[in-house]
Structure 1
Amino acid sequence: MKATRRNWLGQAAALGSGVLLAGWQWPALAQGNYPARPIRMVVPYPAGGGTDTIARMIGQRLTEAWGQPVVVDNKPGASGMLGNDIVAKAPPDGYTVLLGITAMIQSPSLYKRIPYDVTRDFAPVSLIARSSDLFVVPNRVPANTLAEFVALAKSGKLSYGSYGNGTSSHLHGELLKMQAGLELTHIPYKGAAPLMSDVLGGQVDSAFVDVTSANSHLNSGKFRILAITGTQRYKSLAAVPTFAEAGFAGFEPSGWFSVFLPANTPRDVVNRLSTEIGRIVRLPEVSQKLSAMGLQPVGSSSEELAALVATDTPKWARIVRDAHIQLD
């Protein structure tokens, strides 16, 4: 994955300096009148989920700012790869936009074949928000800290639930197993709702769930949070330590929601969209809504998103490789 990291870092440098790199050539034609017609925002997941909610929030305000409709188009399928592929193969004119998530940079390591090249076929635009996973146990499990859970798991076989094979929660579970030397049984669920239901009901011994999905249940009193992924604690969960603070490294990469365009989109179009999304994310009402979803609002530049992808891609790849995870 070293080449992947170099590619993204090279793209980030090119964006900042104006240097043109092979595979990242900007057409010379300026797009000063952009947007001059409706924009299609592809969401590679079903309507009603967190990705869809964020897309509609951003799309509505882009419409208000630019006077051109932003039409959200849900294209679920193949773990997000169907929608990603639509954007990868769209004309690089700024009128087909992708609202992508972390799975974009995990898929190349998980699947033998994907229909596009993540480092070659997309132009990073802006990181909208970060998300972290919580490691939780139902109240029936007698563990109040991560250390207590590890000790308990070593004395008897326990399970952990995830959102499904190849998801961030699955990768985090396998990483914990490797680092702590545990024999946790993986129970893959079909998404967040059924997993949270079993956590609340005590049908699974532990689980990795994102803050957004757990948010509405934090005051239920039916589960305890033992640790959080990422590099820092959440303000709303100040008492919950990060995995690093609990003695486990490698849980630093965060989940994210980001905007991409097809590669070769003119630089001024990328910059205009990036600047406007950053402005929208920093609006108090948008920032508050994202925070209420359990997310950390960002609104980054295109260069910052390119650098993040370059940094995190090999980290996820290392987890996949060490855990010997391979999906069809």
Structure 2
Amino acid sequence: MENMNKMSIIFVGMLTAGVANADYPTKSITMVIPYSAGGGTDVLARNLQPALEESLGEDIIVSNKPGGGGILGFTEVANADPDGYTVTIPNNVIFATEGMGNATYTYSDFDYLGNVLNDDYVVAVSDESEWDSWEELADEMRNNPGEVTFGFSGAGGSTHVASEILADTAEYEAKQVPHDGSSDAVAAALGGHIDVLLLNLADLSSGLKSGDLRLLATLGSETLEDYPDVPTMQELGHDISLSNWRGVAAPAGVDDEVKEAWSAALEKATNDPKVREAIAAQGGEVDFMPSGEKLDARMADLAESFINTAEKIK
């Protein structure tokens, strides 16, 4: 009888734990944004926030933790409890910082809960810039190596790696200048402290709308829908095609119930007209993919490409 009672208690305990997991979430969730407020990742988080809160039934607390080109914020998430209550919005920088040897984590330290969008890397200048086209800028950089300053988000980050890949492919030399987040890089360009920006299109949305920034080229494989006169690097004769992704990730080891809850919430959010409109307004393209083997395989392929490239230039 005593053994039966013990077994009953164990069974009830297991059942209760299962119910608790199935009821996720039961408290507010912190979404760590490893960049300053106002950048593309921050804007995406705040556009997703209402839809995610409605789906998950709990508050999403957006917490900006800039520093190290994303490393500080991503490190905080990688070291958090894998209970689904601390998440982040990663991108190619996860792989780039690992390849550069700057990160205190590996890409496998995260569980990828869903992809949200794709976003091209682009080259932009202040509206007051002397260069009206990529060809003019490229000529300047080839004639005066190391004189033109290229700004991006974070040393060893994805935009840094993309900038180095572009310089190698287009055969020019520029001075690479990292910033703590895309909004800081944009502010530096508008203030005349750097000459050129290489960021994601979403990072430049506000400056492009105001006319304070101008696009010279996109590193994506297709012409930008809202900027049809901006050439691709391939059209300019350079064999390069680079774009970024943004999704949601948690510390590795979260329960399947957590993954399923986030996948369902992200799918619903990316079908919300307001969210889709906001992503399109930033120049991004909705590309939802739920957690699972397909997304994990995609992350592995991207990791191999970016890590290998970053290791060559570090």
TM over 0.5, shorter chain: yes
> 1:236 deviation in Å?
0.6
1:212 aligns with 2:211: no
Q: Equivalents in 2 of 1:95, 1:197: separation in Å? A: 33
2:167 to 174, 177, 181: 177
2:265 to 241, 261, 276: 276
> 1:217 deviation in Å?
3.1
Q: Equivalents in 2 of 1:32, 1:256: separation in Å? A: 29
Is the CA contact 1:143–1:152 (under 8 Å) kept in the aligned structure 2? no
> 1:279 deviation in Å?
1.3
Letter in structure 2 aligned against 1:258: G
Is the CA contact 1:35–1:66 (under 8 Å) kept in the aligned structure 2? yes
Q: Equivalents in 2 of 1:112, 1:206: separation in Å? A: 24
Q: Equivalents in 2 of 1:215, 1:93: separation in Å? A: 34
Letter in structure 1 aligned against 2:271: R
Q: What is the SS of the residue equivalent to 1:183?
A: coil
> 1:197 deviation in Å?
4.7
Is the CA contact 2:113–2:248 (under 8 Å) kept in the aligned structure 1? yes
Aligned to 1:51: 41
Aligned to 1:89: 79
Q: Which segment is superposed worse, 222-231 or 197-206?
A: 197-206
1:153 aligns with 2:141: yes
When normalised by structure 1's length, the TM-score is: 0.76
Aligned to 1:7: none
> 1:213 deviation in Å?
3.4
Q: Equivalents in 1 of 2:286, 2:210: separation in Å? A: 25
Is the CA contact 2:69–2:180 (under 8 Å) kept in the aligned structure 1? no
2:151 to 154, 162, 168: 162
Identical counterparts, % of pairs = 28
> What residue ranges of structure 1 are gaps of 5+ in the alignment?
1-27
Give the alignment's Cα RMSD to 1 decimal: 3.0
Q: Equivalents in 2 of 1:170, 1:238: separation in Å? A: 26
Q: Equivalents in 2 of 1:188, 1:307: separation in Å? A: 30
Is the CA contact 1:261–1:270 (under 8 Å) kept in the aligned structure 2? no
1:294 aligns with 2:294: no
> 1:104 deviation in Å?
1.5
Is the CA contact 1:40–1:95 (under 8 Å) kept in the aligned structure 2? yes
CA 1:250–1:308 in 2, change beyond 3 Å: closer, same or farther?
farther
Is the CA contact 1:105–1:309 (under 8 Å) kept in the aligned structure 2? no
1:33 aligns with 2:47: no
> 1:191 deviation in Å?
4.2
When normalised by structure 2's length, the TM-score is: 0.79
Q: How many residues align?
A: 293
Larger Rg: 2
2:120 to 132, 141, 152: 132
